[in-house]
Structure 1
Amino acid sequence: MTNFAEATDVLAYANDSSYVRARKTTVATAIQLSGGMVNFVWRLTLTDASTVILKHFPPSLRVNPAFAFPQGTVLYTLFHTHIIHSYYPLERCELEYIALRAATSQFPKEKWSAPIPYSLDAANYVILEQDMPGVSLFDLLKQEVDQPLSTSDFNWIASSLLAFLTDVKSLVVPDMSIYANSPLTPIMNRMYLRNRTRMIDFDIPRPQDWLDRAAACDLVATDSFLFGDFWPSSILVDVSHKRVAIIDWELARTGHFGLDLTQMMANLALMGRGQGYNNAAANNMATAIMAAWKRATSGADTFDFEAAYVKRVVQLSQYSHWGLGNVQAAVQDLVAAAPNVFAAT
């Protein structure tokens, strides 16, 4: 069995893969990248100097193998480039692979792009995909960045992200039901179990009202594709070419694009207050996104952006990596300011 935490095992696996063998080359080096708490991600450099990303989706949490991810059974299985009917346990790698194939074939690559998936090995939970240029937006908004983003950068990045949100909601996949019934959705929903207690402990006015409004957000546009994990680490920014790449599609599901937008805004709001981040840059990025959104919206969308945003702020505030100091005060301020964030111009 391949140990995807070990470079020697990864090299052996990659060199035996159908993709590399078809290239009539070999893998010279494997450098591990950040896969968070969940996945193993490696940049492979081939002997012809090209690079490819190997992404392993373990069936359990990478940092806690006892935590197994659920699988969903669907009526589709992938066979090379075709889809044939068969009962098959749907894994996270397949959700990402299907979404990437659709995204890279359906939209022009003018303002944003996604990595081309080269191969899927469902038995080993592995995708080999295109190595995209750029630095994560999360890293670009940290304090120690050598070249901070400019006002012009904030504007074109915001425009690109809004173009992505506009495009992706109309993404066509062979069977939308596999995203509407993603086996990962129950896990994601459990992240909010502490929201009510936290809002009461933080003296947030009318907590049940916020919770009820947020719950209603999940019932809107349930036939639209939703990226599902729209935060700064899922965005690679190529400043020199003014392009963004959207990575990590495994949490895709269905829903209103406002769930993606408010997730991004909640992350930026916390980065705008936390230690270790360039607070001004995070706030400027948020301002640029809201300006782009307000220019693009007709004002007819009745989605409750405020409630979805507050839900995310409260949920994300439980993590210590923001370096918030007084968490209660930060959350109180952000909740109070929510109506102004999404107010029409």
Structure 2
Amino acid sequence: MAPTPSELTTTEGVQAYIANTPFASHTVTSLSGGTGNFAYRIHLSAPFEGQETLVLKHAEPYIKNLVSFAFSLKRQTFEYEAMTRIKEWLPADSLVTVPTIYHFDRELHVLIMEDCGPSGVPTLKDFLCKSEPSILQNLADKIGASLGRFLGEMHTWSRTDPRGLLGLFAGNTQALHISAWVTHGRTVQTLTEDLPPALADPPIEVSAADLDVLRKAANEMSAAITAARDVFVMGDFWPGNIMVKLDAEQNLERLYILDWELAKPGVPGVEIGQFCAEVDLVRRFVPSTKDAVKKVLETFLHAYAQECGANVKMARDALIHWGTHMVVFTPRVAWGDKQTTRQVVKDGVQIIVSAAGASKQDLRESLVGPLFSQ
């Protein structure tokens, strides 16, 4: 008897599901990364297309780590469509790519795909935080430029609405609302009524005038995110969703972009801001990475603008989202000590306030200045 969806939340259920298929495995192990789905590494009994391991993702109608949060199963269809279309669009030898999908079970909500992370392949977040300084310094320019070029090319490509791309992903309405709520929907409450522990003792101080600016910016950005229809975005473009594969000589071989459940029409500046904020947090909490991370950010922004151009609205949106991400996520993720966390949140507030009314010249002199350097 075939497993029921709920049985695929266990390694035993997964092993039963793939028995008597080309993906039959002698060992199934749970993967700790990600919060939305159940993910496993399957160790194949016989190689499949030359690979000894694959990754299986199974979706339930909730977030894996937060069962009370209903999460539409349609997300997996959107992920399949996004990854399949991006794979078709990209050149086969593209440095930045997505895993190949080998099987999609629409009924039991299962994806089986290329394993991009065996043998200690790190996420970009871990690579930035933990790599040997010399290796990181040598690869910083290439990583930043490659990712900026990919994102810019993808945004530009999507504006032509290839094969009804934008209309299809406009149906991912839950992703639109999640992206608005999880950041801009929580900006003010993070600083006032819903203080995370790092900000609560003593309560962090933010002036009433700054809170008014933050509230207005948050409302405008939330509305823009939910109304966006012109550009396809990955939806969760941050270093934790990027795998860094090096060759034997420690040269950059491939960058894999994972987890496309939140793909949708979106605001380009939000995508830029999320990536930059997370990379910025590395240098703020791991000072030894400062020079290399600066290179990553500068080359990322410069390469993106070379592909897409830059304008005041895009840059302002990116900077506001950069600051918002710092405010909302820094005190909720274990980055470092309380004092540094509070200072980063305060810096995030000032980034938002300065960005809200920034002129083009102000933006040129800001963190997003490299957008205007092409």
| TMscore range, shorter length | 0.7 to 0.9
Instruction: Tell me the equivalent position of 1:257.
Output: 268
1:119 to 2:108 alignment: no
Q: 2:166 aligns with which of 176, 183, 195?
A: 176
- Aligned mates of 1:99, 1:152 — CA distance in 2: 32
1:42 alignment partner, SS class:
strand
1:193 to 2:185 alignment: yes
- Aligned mates of 1:155, 1:56 — CA distance in 2: 36
Superposed, 1:1-345 pairs within 5 Å as 1=4, 2-16=6-20, 21=21, 23=22, 26-49=24-47, 50=51, 51-69=53-71, 71=72, 91-109=74-92, 110-132=94-116, 134-143=121-130, 145=131, 149-169=135-155, 170-171=157-158, 172=162, 174=164, 176-182=166-172, 183-191=174-182, 192-199=184-191, 202-203=205-206, 205=210, 206-212=213-219, 214-215=221-222, 217-218=224-225, 222-240=229-247, 241-274=252-285, 281-293=292-304, 298-300=309-311, 302-303=313-314, 304=316, 305-326=318-339, 327-336=341-350, 339=363, 340-343=366-369, 344-345=372-373
Question: What is the one-letter code of the residue matched to 1:13?
Answer: Y
Question: What is the one-letter code of the residue matched to 1:139?
Answer: D
- Aligned mates of 1:333, 1:29 — CA distance in 2: 47
Instruction: Tell me the equivalent position of 2:198.
Output: none
- Aligned mates of 2:62, 2:226 — CA distance in 1: 29
- Aligned mates of 1:12, 1:298 — CA distance in 2: 51
Pair 1:260–1:299, CA change in 2 (3 A): closer
- Aligned mates of 2:137, 2:306 — CA distance in 1: 17
Instruction: Tell me the equivalent position of 2:196.
Output: none
Instruction: Tell me the equivalent position of 1:81.
Output: none
My pick for the range that moved more, 223-232 or 49-58, is 49-58
Instruction: Tell me the equivalent position of 1:78.
Output: none
Pair 1:99–1:310, CA change in 2 (3 A): same
- Aligned mates of 1:317, 1:283 — CA distance in 2: 19
My pick for the range that moved more, 235-244 or 215-224, is 215-224
Q: What is the CA distance between 1:322 and its match in structure 2?
A: 1.8
Question: What is the one-letter code of the residue matched to 1:180?
Answer: A
- Aligned mates of 2:333, 2:136 — CA distance in 1: 28
- Aligned mates of 1:208, 1:220 — CA distance in 2: 18
Q: Is the 8 A contact 1:39 1:56 kept in 2?
A: yes
My pick for the range that moved more, 58-67 or 293-302, is 293-302
Q: What is the CA distance between 1:196 and its match in structure 2?
A: 1.8
- Aligned mates of 2:25, 2:287 — CA distance in 1: 36
1:142 alignment partner, SS class:
helix
Question: What is the one-letter code of the residue matched to 2:113?
Answer: E
Tell me the TM-score normalised to structure 2 length.
Answer: 0.75
Tell me the TM-score normalised to structure 1 length.
Answer: 0.81
Q: Is the 8 A contact 1:142 1:276 kept in 2?
A: no
Instruction: Tell me the equivalent position of 1:77.
Output: none
Q: What is the CA distance between 1:300 and its match in structure 2?
A: 4.1
Figure out how many residues of one structure are paired with residues of the other and give that number. 319
Question: What is the one-letter code of the residue matched to 2:276?
Answer: M
Q: Is the 8 A contact 1:111 1:163 kept in 2?
A: no
Long gaps (5+) in structure 1? 72-89
Q: Is the 8 A contact 1:59 1:68 kept in 2?
A: yes
Question: What is the one-letter code of the residue matched to 2:31?
Answer: L
2:153 alignment partner, SS class:
helix
Q: What is the CA distance between 1:114 and its match in structure 2?
A: 0.7
Write out per-residue CA displacement over residues 313-333 of structure 1, whole angstroms, 9 at most, x where no aligned residue: 222223131225233321222
Question: Which structure has more helix as a fraction of its residues?
Answer: 2
Question: Which structure has more strand as a fraction of its residues?
Answer: 1
Write out per-residue CA displacement over residues 182-210 of structure 1, whole angstroms, 9 at most, x where no aligned residue: 12322332223331234565426332343
1:184 alignment partner, SS class:
helix
Pair 1:275–1:64, CA change in 2 (3 A): same
Q: What do you get for the CA RMSD once the two structures are aligned?
A: 2.9
- Aligned mates of 1:208, 1:41 — CA distance in 2: 37
Identical positions, percent: 24
Q: Is the 8 A contact 2:327 2:344 kept in 1?
A: no
